[in-house]
């Protein structure tokens, strides 16, 4: 399996960003991420989260003067960044450990080194205070989280991570630099991201030279609605960069489209490849849910793929844990699916053909 070798690199206030001329600022800017940046203000290093939650009116600035030694994170997608930085030992608490796929963090949880803080969104404050964290890294979908308010009222700083708002694969992966800044591992984060970026761009260039671009269908039906990525969605960017023709590529939605079965069938029944079938991991499961799936050419031609190759011991899809931090591997997987001749010796990491 082709992997990037990463062995060699292993009090806040809400305010608008104030930029000052400084060597730190000039050398610590993001290349792809739109949701955070770095500043130097009155001699202090600042990490500025520009949109801490969707449509937030103000940015939030965090001082980087005191490295975090005891950390609580609240999303499985935060964990790979920390693990790549060699800082797994810094994590002392997590809401609902059963959702984790990483063997490193599962092992630490089983040894009692990470405390299960209860269901996400309902963190047990007594348990949280018991692990005595220096900070909590959290995400907020609306800016009105009572749980996060209680944490801050208890004197525990909350660092908002809004990587889920990024629209580009490299933009989201660059949030490793957010964690590098918090954990005093800035140089390591820069090196790791640069290696991922280099590999991703090489794979993108490889796929850009193809003459034929297979047409792509994505998503499945829930109830009466087919959910599929919009044209500016993270997934659509991957399809494009992998040398595919996503059939909703012209759409400008960055989130998810909600369409009827009939609308999707009319546009995509002759699609070459079907990528992404949610929790349906076999052809039998697909047609058991909706018999009309069998009418799609990709289904009849055995060209249906899902991100189900790596499932954790508790049923979690590792694609949704580590895939965000390793877009180079996701892109390589998709190139292998769409243009296998370009990567003849490559074994996919996340995606597999449905049996």
**Beta-strand pair 225-229/220-222:** antiparallel
Determine what percent of the chain falls in helix, strand and coil, rounding each to the nearest 5.
Answer: 40, 20, 45
Q: What is the chain's mean pLDDT, rounded?
A: 90
71 SS3 class: strand
Mean pLDDT within 18-47:
75
Nearest to 327 by CA among 9, 30, 32: 32
Q: Helix and strand tally (H, E) in the chain? A: 14, 17
Indicate if the pLDDT at residue 71 is higher than 90: yes
Mean pLDDT within 136-142:
90
Predicted TM-score (pTM) of the model is 0.89
Q: What is the pLDDT of residues 283-342, one digit of tens each?
A: 999 999 999 999 999 999 999 999 999 998 888 899 999 999 999 999 999 999 999 999
Mean pLDDT within 121-138:
93
The torsion defined by the Cα of 330, 208, 166 and 80, in degrees rounded to 10, comes to 30
Indicate if the pLDDT at residue 19 is higher than 60: no
The answer to whether residues 114 and 89 touch, using CB atoms and an 8 Å cutoff, is: no
Which domains are delineated in the chain? 7-197 (3.40.50.1980), 210-353 (3.40.50.1980)
- How much is the pLDDT for 42? 83
- How much is the pLDDT for 143? 60
Whole-number Å distance between alpha carbons of 97 and 106? 7
- Quick one: which H or E segment has residue 107? helix 103-110
Q: Looking at 10-14, 96-100, 111-115, which range is the least confident one?
A: 10-14
Indicate if the pLDDT at residue 8 is higher than 60: no
Q: pLDDT tier at 141 (50, 70, 90 boundaries)?
A: confident
Q: What is the pLDDT of residues 342-355, one digit of tens each?
A: 999 999 999 999 99
Task: Please give the structure tokens belonging to residue 340.
Answer: 């296998």
- How much is the pLDDT for 24? 53
């Amino acid at each position: 399996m082709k992997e990037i070798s990463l062995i060699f690199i292993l009090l806040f206030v809400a305010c608008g960003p104030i930029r000052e001329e400084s060597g730190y600022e000039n050398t610590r800017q993001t290349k792809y991420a739109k949701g955070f940046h770095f500043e130097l203000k009155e001699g202090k290093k600042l990490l500025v989260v520009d949109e801490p939650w969707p449509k937030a009116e103000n940015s939030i600035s965090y001082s980087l003067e005191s490295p975090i030694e005891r950390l609580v994170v609240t999303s499985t997608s935060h964990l790979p960044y920390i693990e790549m930085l060699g800082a797994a030992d810094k994590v002392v608490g997590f809401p609902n450990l059963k959702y984790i796929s990483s063997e490193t963090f599962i092992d630490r949880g089983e040894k009692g080194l990470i405390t299960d803080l209860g269901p996400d969104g309902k963190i047990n404050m007594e348990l949280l205070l018991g692990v005595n964290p220096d900070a909590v890294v959290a995400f907020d979908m609306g800016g009105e989280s009572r749980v996060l308010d209680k944490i801050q009222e208890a004197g525990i700083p909350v660092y908002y991570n809004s990587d889920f708002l990024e629209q580009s694969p490299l933009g989201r992966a660059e949030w490793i630099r957010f964690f590098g800044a918090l954990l005093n591992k800035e140089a390591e984060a820069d090196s790791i991201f640069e290696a991922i970026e280099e590999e991703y761009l090489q794979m993108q260039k490889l796929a850009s030279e193809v003459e034929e671009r297979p047409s792509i269908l994505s998503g499945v039906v829930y109830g009466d609605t087919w959910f599929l990525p919009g044209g500016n969605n993270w997934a659509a960017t991957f399809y494009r960069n992998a040398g595919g023709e996503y059939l909703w590529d012209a759409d400008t939605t960055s989130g998810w489209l909600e369409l009827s079965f009939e609308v999707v069938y009319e546009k995509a029944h002759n699609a070459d490849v079907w990528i992404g079938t949610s929790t349906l991991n076999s052809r039998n499961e697909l047609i058991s849910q909706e018999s009309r799936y069998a009418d799609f050419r990709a289904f009849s031609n055995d060209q249906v793929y899902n991100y189900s190759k790596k499932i954790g011991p508790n049923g979690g899809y590792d694609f949704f844990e580590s895939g965000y931090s390793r877009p180079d591997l996701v892109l390589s997987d998709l190139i292998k699916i769409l243009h296998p001749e370009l990567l003849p010796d490559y074994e996919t990491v996340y995606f597999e053909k449905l049996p």
